[in-house]
Structure 1
Amino acid sequence: MSFSQGFGNSNPFSGGIFGSGSGSSSNDDAGSGGSGGSGGGESGRSQGGRRRPSALIITIVIIAALLGAFVAFSGFYAEILWYSQLGYSEVFWTEWVARGVIFVAAFLLMGLLVWLSLFFAFRTRPKNIEGQLADSVSKYQSTLTSMRRLLMFGLPVLMGLFAGTAAQANWQQVLLFINQQPFGQTDPEFGRDFAFYVFTLPFLNFVNGFLISAVLVAGIAGILCHYLFGSIRIEASGRFVVEKAARWHVAIAVAAFILLQGVSWFLGRFATLQDQSGNWAGALYTDVNAVIPAQTILAIAAVLVAIVLIITAITARWRFAIIGTAVLIVTAIIGTGVVPFLVQEYQVRPTEQTLEAEYIERNMELTRFAYDLEDLEKISYSATQEAEAGALADDAANIENIRLLDPNLVSAAYRQFQQFRPYYTFPETLSFDRYEIDGQRYDTVIAAREVNAPEGSWVNQHLIYTHGYGLVAANANTVTPEGRPDFTLQGIPTTGDLASDEDYEPRIYFGEAVPQYSIVGAPEGAAPRELDRPAVELTEDEEGEAEAAEADDNGQDDTQYTFSGDGGPSVGNMFNRLVFALNFQSPEIFLSGDMNEESQILYDRHPRERVEKVAPYLEVDQNIYPAIVDGRIKWIVEGYTTSNNFPYSTEQQLESATVDALTQGGPQQLTGQINYIRNSVKATVDAYDGSVELYAWDDEDPILQAWQEVFPQAIQPMEEMSAELLDHVRYPEDMFRIQRSLLTEYHVDSPGTFYEGNDAWSIPSDPTRDGGEPQPPYYMTLEMPEQEEPSFSLTSAFIPATEADGQQRNVLYGFLAASGDAGTGEDGVRHEDYGRLRLLELPRQTSIPGPGQTQANFDSHQTIAQQLNVLDDLGGSEVHRGNMITMPAGGGILNVQPIYVQATTGSAYPALRMVLVGFGEEVGYGDTLQEALDMVFEGDAGVEAVEGAGVDAEAVEDDLDGVEGTTEDEATEPSPAPTETEEAAAPEDDEEDEDDDAPVAEDDQERLEQLRGEAAELWADRNEAFSEGDLARYRQLELEFEETLDELFQLENSLND
């Protein structure tokens, strides 16, 4: 039977699949016969003799299906309410409509192709098969014909569901293709706009891949059906028989597959520019001169072979089709495998540097463009190691902003002095920003005092403990005389130089540590129920703590509050309560009598999560931070548009590129691969009502422009940003991490140098940790060489890459700073210097110590090591090395590290105790930054550090009881010398040696305590002499201090032996 005969003269729906024509089995008509009449069968059976399902089972199945449908609907409906309340319904419906349309299209296409293939194979089956196979074929046909409705409809539907589910996941790719925007630049090989590679090529590959899958599935289903019904068979004689209809079917399916494979080869020509498998990204010499021509030939050959297959279907001569297909396969193997291998091995490898130079240069240029590095400003910096007096006279701006408060260490101090209640908490790593006080800008360590709901009843967790209260901030460059944070924003209610409760809304319903959901709101005049804050004024001073304790005793410790914003979907009606009870698997939401018509449910409360939901096309930075903006606490979130399809750009693994000592193993760390990124969106999340604002930060980014076409109402122009918000914008951390990772190789300009790799850099390991993770980038206000004024910058150092033998020199080769100041004092006007990347390149012949070498210099310095050991021994305390700050100053590189001491017992918090400074090989130390600087620069650094940049020795002594866990007398007062009687009573050394476990002699222990006291006293006297400018007395006390420490450690070692 021919193809036309199979579909031609008769209605295809009159028999075969749908009707009871020649293809139907006798069982199909059984239902019309039987006993007939009105009572011919048993009540529980059908007329055909099969048992009917009982009414109870049918009812249970229907109820279960309805319940399952309602549970699924509840999640969908909850999302509708969430997006609607937030004002982003456009995002929700656009995504779901796009997913739905793609699903339906893929479902119909796959299902239709499979159905047509099965339909044609079934309709053209041979009616009569003679010979020994007739009986077995008849059995197959009889069995399969009785199941034809299930197979003809079930299989296409199943394949369609699989196809639709897989295809709808590509909704972003489809929308970007439809709304694509030009880059305005073309690739160097084919001259196509970059938009073709970012938007068009991924879409074409997706469509072509889907069609190949559909043709394969439909073809296999049809061929299998032909075989089962005898159109393709092997007869008893061994003869292979293919009926004419089956021949047509197979030929068309194979031709379609080969044509689509030809399209793959044609598109593969462009995909070579995205290839990451070579030594450098993009199409290299072998690709351009061997692979791309071969793929062009294969694409043409595929068309010719497909034509031959169609001719074969007509002529029934398979020889040419088989030969053509074999030639195509061999050509593919030779053209894309053998020839490129030979070219690479025998033409490229002997002169690789010369032949690849052009393509390496393409990779360098387009990688820099893709990662926004093309405007990198390089500065040659001849760093000196000579620490001369007055060297820092021109660096006052840098010195006054040196951060001594390490946001990665002082969280415990914030908890100790500003938490006040166990139901509050602070994050382990605090945020870094800058604020203006009385016309002067200060780098600031800032944190949100968030709620930490105690374990307990559902009411407590979701109705009572609903929000945190206020921000806490301290200057980064100063501390109190005792070494504590110098708070500029503190207490409850908020007070301080930076702001007060009257200046901003302090309540925090949306943050990093809030409960999964809270139910808030009440009618006007109703008694408030949410726990708000302690009733008395609380600060860090002892008087405030005493007042708080007295208030606790009187039962008047907390006030209540009612949320008055619009922060979540309403649960004021029974239907919504049922929906969210199912959604959160919490029956209390539905059953609780504490609900009212004004109740709202707040959920998805993490700022990062909220931005990801309203902007699903963005990668979101793992670091967010709070800021006081226009009278509100705003969480500022960085959003990135990315692609992995940019031509000639080197791919980055986000997980490895963004990892450092702080982000290692973090739950928010970015994952995946990219080779293009822009910080295209700045987002804010209101800490009170959760409202999200998206601003187009890089409106020249074509990917962002495409998404603005998709969601025209979702993203506001940058000009809508207030001046105060712009003042708190900073350079994004993950973007910087990725860029510095690229710059370890892409800082060079010459393709030859890049090829040789002899000037590769690496990011130094964090010297304050033992894990070897990369040092994190640090924010600081900094004035780089050739920069007109200081800017709030993100910085990182570079050292040489590890050599082939595994050795690595820890000397500084480069220093990168990204300017993060965006504010100009005007709404919607961004500072022109924002985002400028400046790279200091140091001479290779010098040996400026890197962070690791500087740490080694500190640790090996005799006096510093001894003092740190003394601090470690004070009443069970431990030393913490703060962030190693590196910066250009004094014509060289200055390194500063704060040293903290924290008790191991009691109310333990880290307090600043010492400041270390390194310049070249010179090392300085002191209670204050000024002392350490002057020690390095011959007694006069040439600059005055800010007041409070260090501790006061007397205040530290008074504070030892609170920090080190010992009393002042125990730590600083010398013990009395042993009397002659005590000396005589002391055991002899030989007696001690007889038993290693013998107790320490009392006179030795007393002498040990005496030496510790003398060391502390000499340290205080030494600092006093330095502050008074009495350098002669200072040096004398320094020598006495070192001699005392030597004796102290000798005695300690002898006692420990």
Structure 2
Amino acid sequence: MVTRMRRRRSFSTPFVVLLIIVVAVIIAHIFIDRLYGVKIHSALGYGAVYEKNMWFELATRYLGAALYAAIALFAIRPIQSIVPRPAYRGMQLLLVVIGWFVGFAMWSLNPTAWFLFFNHKPFTYSDPLQHVNAAFYVYNLPLLMGLFGRVIGTLVLWIAVRLMATLAAFVQQQMQITRPGFARLVRSQARGLLLVLGTILVLLAGLTYLNRYETILTSGNGSFVYGPDFVTARLTLPVFSWLHIATLLLTAAAVFWQASHIDDVLPERDGFALPSWRSFRRPIFAFGLYIASLIVTGVIGSLVNTLYVHPNQNTVELPYIKDTIDATRYALGVENVHTMPINPVDNLSAADVASHQDALDNVRVNDQGQTTSIYNQLQSFKNYFTFSNAAVDRYDNKEVYISARQMDVTKLPVQTWVNQTLIYTHGYGIAASPVNRFDANGLPIFWAQNTPQQVTPPIPQITRPQIYFGLMNNNVIAPSKQPEFDYPVGNTQHTSHYKGGYGLPIVGNRLLLAIEQGSLKFYTSDQITNKSEWLFDRNIYQRVEDIAPFLTYDKDAYPFVDQNGHIKWILDAYTETPNIPYAQQFMNTAYIRNSVKVVMDAYTGKTTFYVVDKNDPMLKSLAAAYPSLFTYHIPADIAAHFRYPVDLFQAQADALTRYHMTNPSSFYNQDDLWQVAQQIYNQNQKQARPPVYQMVQMPGQTKPQFVLSELFTPQTKDNLNGWLIADNSPGDYGKLTLYQFPQSSLVFGPMQAENQIDANPFISQELSLWNQQGSHVVRGNLLLIPVGNSLMYVEPVYLVANRSNSLPQLERVIIDYNEKVYMNDSLGAALQDVLNGNTASLSTGGTTGGQTATGTGQSGGQTNQTGQGTTSPSAGNAPSSGTQTLRKMTIQQLITMANNLFEQYQQDTAAGRLDKAGQDLSSLRSVLSTLQSKGGTTGNAIGSAAGNTP
């Protein structure tokens, strides 16, 4: 008796150990999620969102794990009396562990998807075949398919365990003939297996029914129909899908019949339960019909496609092409694009220029990519300060570049925990400059610069220049006993202490932080105070993913300064789904809306999710599921800096290359297929012209608007076909307008303008010369600018020395107008050349243009205290204004200038300033060319210059 009790205890020991382990895992999981996760997300300000998701995940995972462990125990019970007790205990333990982990993995559900399943709003679109609202495809269908799959998977696992038990019983009856009841046990197990198998077949029939809707989400032929085509819509869905369902149900009925006649399936012979193979004819025949229906579907579908659809594709597929056009335009949000004709004329006048003064004063002659490089060279000051890509924004209708000066602790000269975590905790201030102003050296004029921060209107005075949150990836502790570095001041440092924000207080959370971060410094460091906070998720992308992982986020966060002088970040968030019937996918999705703008304070880390599209049904559903997440009231000073996102706009532009054609026949024939226009960029690379933020005053408008634009040309052609504009104004934010150019007359596209620039002998000669003088030419984005009823292209040209850390300097501005090319050293000077008819072969090409009579463009030698460019004479007494060309100078003045330029060339060569020497030679060539055209003697000028050489 004692031995038997010891055995029972030894048998029960594994279950006790397993129970302890399971309980410990549950407690540890809840402890980490509840005490750390909730506190972290509460510090972010959105603990309720996290808790709601957390408790749902815990409940479904552990209930699923417990249920599968119980199922495993119950499934193995029939062999309890067959196998030895120790083996049975071992099998129980193994199956419980397997069931636990399978259940935990299988029931790890997406909480947001289930919240929306029970609480979602309808779309304004229904599929054209079943006439079911798109909400069913977005919210219900994926979860129902997943639920059916999980239930079927559970039953398959049940069958696998029970089949093992049945086979064990069957083998046992062969070994123990004299033991009664084995035949009855085998029949009982077989009946249960058949009942479960029949249930699986019924569920498969239900899954096949749901698959009818899944078929509507197929990509079609992937060419011009992105959904069910003629065969699928007219044969597969209304005929063959029901045949598949019927044959599955017939198979299930045959299996259920076997279960009810188990004595015929396993008749007893000499005490054995042996299968009667003839009884399996019914389910085999029924399942054969199902397989045959699949084959018939493929064969008949192929025959109809080959013999009828393909020869008549241009007519029979038209209804489904129309469905594709409508669905794609709706899903991408381009169904309401306002289309307007535009017919430019070549009658530019001074009055047009004057009436478009505000727009011309915002032309981006400073290139965005080169501006980022300049910021990093002129405004970073230390290796550990860095600027991300300069963003385009506007202040008081002035278009500006802006970028934040952030801390990169990986570049600190001394890499210690104290430096990385306590001292070098934040960036400092911003750099900002107008897009159209530059100094005599071709460098941007700053409206926000330096440390301490110096700001010029229209940029607001910055009251909190420290940047604790932005694009930085390391976690820090602030404040502490250590002063925090702001910026260098001579041999010392200017420091400050963090005043607090959305971080996790260290006092009261040391244990959690020590466990999570794997560090005892939260206990051992004597630098931590009662006010110290653990600043985590300092990268805006990480922060928003932690708060709202169910949104999709753009990758172009940008800073701005609000009316209170706080630096903040804006990030675009999208609601999206691929489950829109007939919609072609762009950006790896079908439906997409920029419904949310995320704004994060760079000092405190406070993050706000502002709703900008209240009509988005997906946003309405999310707001119902998470009512505390979204904010609907948007302050005016924040809305003034919203921009239409480039990625979404690019996807819409790519779609409109085809989907501007709304006639199914035209869409099928692709007789008006467009492409995104191309340009020459950087060092003569041909590339697709990216969307451009710019201030433009379109024909018929009375003031300039800050827009995002893209240009279209015909496929394989270069003439201009379309111009897509997205308005960024608070009142008209997101309004899309497609300007269509006449197809019966030629309007030059970007590449035709680029070809004209390259074909101009004077410009080509200048660019070639600069590329040979220890420097290279960099070309900026080609901009299309409307002035009155005329259009012109503007392209900046930079000169960069062929050495590391060289500054890109704006050297020339090129205008292409009315199939002629003009080049000068500022937009104003080049525009004056356009009005005067001075093409690039006659214009100075090397004068220093300042504030012209038109007021457009700005260069000049020095910068006054307000940041406005002022003109100053150039070397050789060149004209101080771009309005005065070399042709207006006397021969003697030209000779004097040539002498001065030659002397300047010698000085620059001696000093090793080869890039400037190249510019001197270029200017000298222009002077000599003009002198020769005036009848002067080039040889005399050269001789005079040589005579003045020391």
Check whether TM > 0.5.
yes
Aligned to 1:915: 813
Deviation of 1:792 after TM superposition, in Å, equals 0.9
Is 1:327 equivalent to 2:289 in the alignment? yes
Partner of 2:867: none
The CA deviation string for residues 448-467 of structure 1, in whole angstroms up to 9 with x for no partner, is 11123314221111111111
Q: Distance in 2 between matches of 1:738 and 1:198?
A: 21
Matching residue of 1:668 = none
Indicate how the Cα distance of structure 1 residues 873 and 773 shifts in structure 2: closer, same or farther if over 3 A, else same: closer
Task: Mark the CA change 1:976 to 1:644 in structure 2 (over 3 Å): closer, same or farther.
Answer: closer
Counterparts in 2 of 1:51-62, with a 5 A limit?
Answer: none
The two structures have a TM-score, normalised by structure 1, of 0.75
Distance 1:67 1:172 in 2: 25
SS at match of 1:188: coil
Task: Identify which of 79, 95, 108 aligns with 1:122.
Answer: 79
Q: Is 1:716 aligned to residue 611 of structure 2?
A: no
Q: 1:350 to 1:97 in 2, by over 3 A?
A: same
SS of the residue aligned with 1:302? helix
Contact kept? 1:1021, 1:1037, Cα under 8 Å: no
The equivalent of 1:665 in structure 2 is: none
1:776-832 deviations in whole A, cap 9, x for unaligned? 21101122334454221111112233xxxxxx323322211100111xxxxxxxx1x
Structure 2: how far apart are the matches of 1:650 and 1:969? 63
Which moved further from structure 2: 885-894 or 927-936? 885-894
Q: Is the 8 A contact 2:106 2:150 kept in 1?
A: no
- Shifted more, 761-770 versus 728-737: the winner is 761-770
Q: 1:1014 to 1:731 in 2, by over 3 A?
A: closer
Residue type of the partner of 2:821?
V
Tell me which of 245, 263, 275 is aligned to 2:188: 245
2:606 is the counterpart of 1:677: no
For 2:676, which of 745, 759, 763 is the aligned residue? 763
- CA distance in 1 between counterparts of 2:280 and 2:90 reads 35
Q: Is the 8 A contact 1:887 1:894 kept in 2?
A: yes
Q: Is the 8 A contact 1:912 1:950 kept in 2?
A: no
Residue 857 (structure 1) shift: 2.5
Aligned 1:878-889 pairs, distance under 5 A:
878-889=776-787
Give aligned-pair identity as a percent: 25
Shift of 1:338: 2.1
Q: Which amino acid aligns with 2:51?
A: W
Residue equivalent to 2:612 = 697
Inter-partner Cα distance in structure 2 for 1:634 and 1:782: 26
Equivalents in 2 of 1:933, 1:863: separation in Å? 18
Question: What are the Cα deviations for residues 617-643 of structure 1, in whole angstroms up to 9, with x where unaligned?
Answer: 111111011111132111011110111
- State the distance in 2 between where 1:871 and 1:563 align: 50
For 2:121, which of 158, 175, 181 is the aligned residue? 181
Cα offset, 1:485, TM superposition: 0.9
Q: Cα distance 1:244–1:895, how it changes in 2: closer, same or farther (>3 A)?
A: same
* Alpha-carbon RMSD: 4.0
CA contact (8 A) 2:220 2:229 kept: no
String of CA shifts for 1:238-285, please: whole Å, max 9, x gaps: xx9994223313322221221121112111222222111423212221
Assess, with a 3 A threshold, how the Cα gap between structure 1 residues 913 and 958 changes in structure 2: closer, same or farther.
farther
- Matched with 1:494 is 453
How far does residue 82 in structure 1 lie from its aligned partner after superposition?
1.9
Shift in Å, 1:159 = 3.6
Which amino acid in the other structure matches residue 177 of structure 1? F
**Separation of aligned partners in 2, 1:64 and 1:199:** 34
1:9 equivalent in structure 2: none
Once residues 935 and 657 of structure 2 are traced to their aligned partners in structure 1, the CA distance between those partners, rounded to angstroms, is: 47
Alpha-carbon distance change, 919 to 208 in structure 1, aligned in 2, over 3 angstroms: farther
Residue identity matched to 1:871: W
- Residue 403 in 1 paired to residue 364 in 2? yes
The equivalent residue for 1:353 is 314
Of residues 488-497 and 458-467 in structure 1, the stretch that sits farther from structure 2 once superposed is 488-497
SS at match of 2:437: strand
- Helix, strand or coil for the counterpart of 1:852? helix
603-612 or 397-406: which moved more? 397-406
Q: How does 1:763-842 map to 2 (within 5 A)?
A: 763-769=676-682, 774-787=688-701, 789-801=703-715, 808-822=716-730, 831=731, 833-842=732-741
1:733-767 deviations in Å (ceiling 9; x for gaps): 22112111211211112111111123222223452
Supply the AA of the counterpart residue of 1:401: N
Residue deviations 1:959-986 (CA, integer Å, cap 9, x gap): 99xxxxxxx9999435999xxxxxxxxx
Return closer, same or farther for 1:585/1:277 CA change in 2, 3 Å cut-off: farther
- 1:447 and 2:442 correspond: no
1:973 aligns with 2:902: yes
Judged with a 3 Å threshold, the aligned counterparts in structure 2 of structure 1 residues 955 and 249 are, in CA distance, closer, same or farther, namely farther
Q: Which of 358, 366, 383 is the matching residue for 2:327? A: 366
Q: In 2, distance between residues paired with 1:607 and 1:889?
A: 40
Distance 2:108 2:558 in 1: 35
**Which amino acid is 1:405 matched to?**
N
Match of 2:554 in 1: 621
Measured after TM superposition, the shift of residue 49 of structure 1 is 10
Indicate whether 1:559 and 2:494 are aligned: yes
Residue 313 of structure 1: aligned partner: 259
Quick one: distance in 2 between partners of 1:946 and 1:637?
35
The letter for the 2-side match of 1:530 is E
- Tell me how many residue pairs correspond in the alignment: 864
Distance verdict in 2 for CA 1:750–1:603, change over 3 Å:
same
Q: Does 1:283 align with 2:231?
A: no
Residues 409-808 of structure 1: pairs in structure 2 closer than 5 A: 409-427=370-388, 429-436=389-396, 441-453=397-409, 454-456=412-414, 457-498=416-457, 503-512=462-471, 514=472, 516-522=474-480, 529-535=483-489, 552=490, 555=491, 557-573=492-508, 576-631=509-564, 632-652=566-586, 654=587, 673-717=588-632, 720-769=633-682, 774-787=688-701, 789-801=703-715, 808=716
Q: Is the 8 A contact 1:1018 1:1037 kept in 2?
A: no
Measure the CA separation in 2 of the matches of 1:626 and 1:958: 43
Letter in 2 for 1:594: Q
1:20 alignment partner in structure 2? none
After superposition, the Cα gap between the structure-2 partners of 1:459 and 1:223, relative to the gap in structure 1 and judged at 3 Å, is same
Asked if 1 retains the 8 angstrom alpha-carbon contact of 2:699 and 2:788, the reply is no
Equivalent position to 1:172, from 87, 90, 112: 112
Structure-to-structure mapping, 1:197-236, within 5 angstroms: 197-230=137-170
Question: In structure 1, how many angstroms separate the alpha carbons of the residues matched to 2:8 and 2:67?
Answer: 39
Distance 2:217 2:796 in 1: 46
Name the amino acid aligned to 1:627. F
Per-residue CA deviation, residues 496-517 of structure 1 (Å, 9 max, x unaligned), is 32268855311111111x3501
> 2:846 maps to which residue?
none
1:937–1:947 CA distance, 2 compared to 1 (3 A): closer
Deviation string, structure 1 residues 862-914 (Cα, Å, up to 9, x no partner): 2112212333344x332211122124445454221111122334762112110
Paired letter, 1:854:
A
State the partner residue of 1:1016: 923
Alpha carbons of structure 1 residues 1039 and 306: separation in structure 2 relative to 1, 3 Å: farther
Paired position in structure 2 for 1:192: 132
Which amino acid is the alignment partner of residue 442 of structure 2?
Answer: G
Task: Tell which deviates more after alignment, 736-745 or 619-628.
Answer: 736-745
Whole-Å Cα distance in 2 between the matches of residues 959 and 463 of structure 1?
Answer: 55
What secondary structure does 1:598 align onto? strand
Alpha-carbon distance between aligned partners in 1 of 2:705 and 2:242, rounded to the nearest angstrom: 53
Residues in 2 aligned to 1:726 and 1:590: alpha-carbon distance in whole angstroms: 44
Contact 2:798 2:808 in 1 (8 A): yes
Task: State which of 233, 241, 254 in structure 1 corresponds to 2:197.
Answer: 254
Equivalent residues of 1:928, 1:951 under 8 A apart:
no
Instruction: Return 706-715 or 73-82, whichever deviates more.
Output: 73-82
Distance, in Å, in 2 between the alignment partners of 1:872 and 1:98 is 64
How far is 1:481 from its partner?
Answer: 3.0
